Amino acid sequence: MTSHPTTAPAMAHGVSHSSDSLPAHIAVIMDGNGRWAKARGLPRIEGHRRGLEALRGLVRAADQRGIRFLTVYSFSSENWRRPAEEVSELLGLLRYFIRQDVADLSARNVRIRIIGRRNDLPDDIAVLLREAETTTASNTGLTLIIAFNYGARDELLRATQALASQVAEGRLAVADMSEQHICDALDTSGLPDPDLLIRTSGEVRLSNFMMWQLAYTELVFLPVAWPDFDAAALDGALVEFSHRQRRFGGLTEPSAEQARGQV
């Protein structure tokens, strides 16, 4: 395994060029819990519980390998379409995770960010999410970004509304709008774009995940169900990533200086 970058990745236009073969930011679509459970004759919630164990393992493994940013898709804006019982169990699992794990994560210097729509969540969940962010805000280790009640289209809609308000109030001229304004209006404001996306379960689609931020991300789709994802699977994806040549529209990989946004 190669050493991790010692400088923060460049964030101009929300693009992170990791100057190393190790991704600075990994995004994960944790899919396949239900099928994992069904294959074992278990209720779907058991798959979600085992999925939480896999998430705990991923956070540890990513941290040990020097990953700086880890975004995990835990509940989409479309997952409300599932039966009420499953939705309620998933909300319960989020409550359990925040109550159970945040203190330990904070002790390990993990900073938590939540992305997704907040204003139609149950009040107690909104409070838990805010507390998870505020209690870990000054941590300097791995940033764990939890996408909850998140959909890329919903995020872009809210960003568009925010920018339209700035224009309507005379605070922003249409001609001055840049990609950076959009980056700053997204939930991921201030975060570098993912370098590597991993989706488990064999599905090969984005399911409304980070559609702006993934523009130049390397995509890895694995057949493994999420509860079976482990450190070895992460290492396999990292090896795959290290073999990819990223060009960002140019003809060669960016130089280290370009990667740091210095030229």
Site string for Mg ion, 15-54 (x = CB under 5 A): ----------------x-----------------------
Active site residue 31: yes
Residue 72 interacts with Mg ion (CB under 5 A)? no
Least Cβ distance, residue 75 to Mg ion (angstroms): 11
Residue 73 interacts with ligand IPE (CB under 6 A)? yes
Which pair of tokens denotes residue 67? 């990953």
Residue 241 interacts with ligand IPE (CB under 6 A)? no
Residue 101 interacts with Mg ion (CB under 5 A)? no
Secondary structure, 3-state, 87-144: HHHHHHHHHHHHHHHHHHHHHCCCEEEEECCCCCCCHHHHHHHHHHHHHHCCCCCCEE
Residue 214's CB is within 10 A of a number of other CB atoms, namely 16
Residue 148 interacts with ligand IPE (CB under 6 A)? no
- In this complex, which beta carbon is closest to ligand IPE, that of residue 29 or of residue 70? 29
For Mg ion (CB under 5 A), the number of binding residues is: 1
- In this complex, which beta carbon is closest to Mg ion, that of residue 163 or of residue 225? 225
Which pair of tokens denotes residue 221? 């789709």
Q: Which of 220, 182, 180 is nearest to 200 (CA)?
A: 220
- In this complex, which beta carbon is closest to ligand IPE, that of residue 76 or of residue 188? 76
Paired strand residues for 25: 69
Q: Please say whether the beta carbons of 198 and 28 come within 8 A.
A: yes
Residue 90 interacts with ligand IPE (CB under 6 A)? yes
In order of 47, 74, 97, 165, the CA distances from 24 in angstroms are 29, 20, 25, 33
Of 20, 31, 63, 193, which is the active-site residue? 31
How far is C-alpha 221 from the chain's CA centre? Answer: 15
Pick what 166 binds: Mg ion, ligand IPE, none; C-beta below 5 to 8 Å, kind-dependent. none
Q: Catalytic residue numbers?
A: 31, 79
What residues line the site for Mg ion (CB under 5 A)?
A: 31
